Amino acid sequence: DPFNQYYSHGPRFRLSAEQIRDQALSVSGLISDKMYGPSVMPFQPEGVWMTVYNGGKWTTSKNGEQYRRALYTYWKRTSTYPSMEAFDTPSREVCKVRRIRTNTPLQALVTLNDPVYMECAKELGKIVKKQSGNLDAKLEYAFEKAICRKPKESEKQSLKNLFTEVQRDFGKSEEEAWTLVANVIMNLDEFLIKR
């Protein structure tokens, strides 16, 4: 439906910065359901956030607070949260009626390497490893948990090959292999795109 003529279809577009982070936290089971209260400071690389005039510091929140929804992330207009900035979140200096949606390599690097997304992949990997069943059953579980559908046979085979190659060629443990598989699943277009 390229011209959006049918009510049953609509244009595909990438989720917002906040939705991507919240979705990763949710699928991995890390998301905190705590509501209200002060802003929190999730992990951020050292030296990104500096306050010249008052000496304020970015102190990563503890005790599960760092896993609260993106809505509660501490915001400073002159130094926005880096992973959200990569996904075009506005600086909040002025009102935005519509967000710009870009598709850049930097976004893929964020979801592949940012410590928040790596931690989510690790937790999802732990969940999958604990599931009963053979490798195929665990792959189906991981895929369905993240993408909300069963994988096609070709997708399952690709993930199976990845899992076995990582263990064989790099000598990784089962948990590390599941972390890598979870990371790949959480970087699929279907995970990051609203349809």
Please provide the size of the chain in residues: 195
Please, are residues 23 and 148 in contact by the beta-carbon 8 Å criterion? no
CA atoms within 13 A on the CB side of 24: 30
pTM score? 0.86
The amino acid sitting at 76 is K
User: Could you give the CA distance from residue 76 to residue 155 in angstroms, rounded to a whole number?
Assistant: 41
* Cα–Cα separations (whole angstroms), residue 89 to 33, 62, 74, 81, 147: 22, 24, 14, 9, 24
Among left, alpha and beta (phi > 0; psi -120 to 50; other), residue 165 is alpha
Measured N-to-C along each axis, helices 135-147 and 174-185 cross at an angle, to the nearest 10 degrees, of: 40
**pLDDT for position 101:** 82
Can you tell me whether residue 193 is helix, strand or coil?
A: strand
Characterize the bridge pairing of strands 13-14 and 193-194.
antiparallel
Please report which helix (H) or strand (E) contains residue 14, including its range.
Answer: strand 13-14
- The string of DSSP letters for 71-90 reads GGB---TTS--HHHHHTT--
Q: What is the pLDDT along the chain (195 residues), one digit of tens a residue?
A: 677 777 766 677 888 888 999 999 999 999 999 999 988 888 887 777 776 677 777 788 888 889 899 888 888 777 778 888 888 888 777 777 888 888 888 889 999 999 899 999 999 999 999 999 999 999 999 999 999 999 999 999 999 999 999 988 877 788 899 999 999 999 999 999 886
Q: Residue 139: name the closest of 154, 115, 156, 161 by CA.
A: 156
Convert 174-189 to b/e letters by CB count within 10 Å (16 or more is b): eeebbbbbbbbbbbee
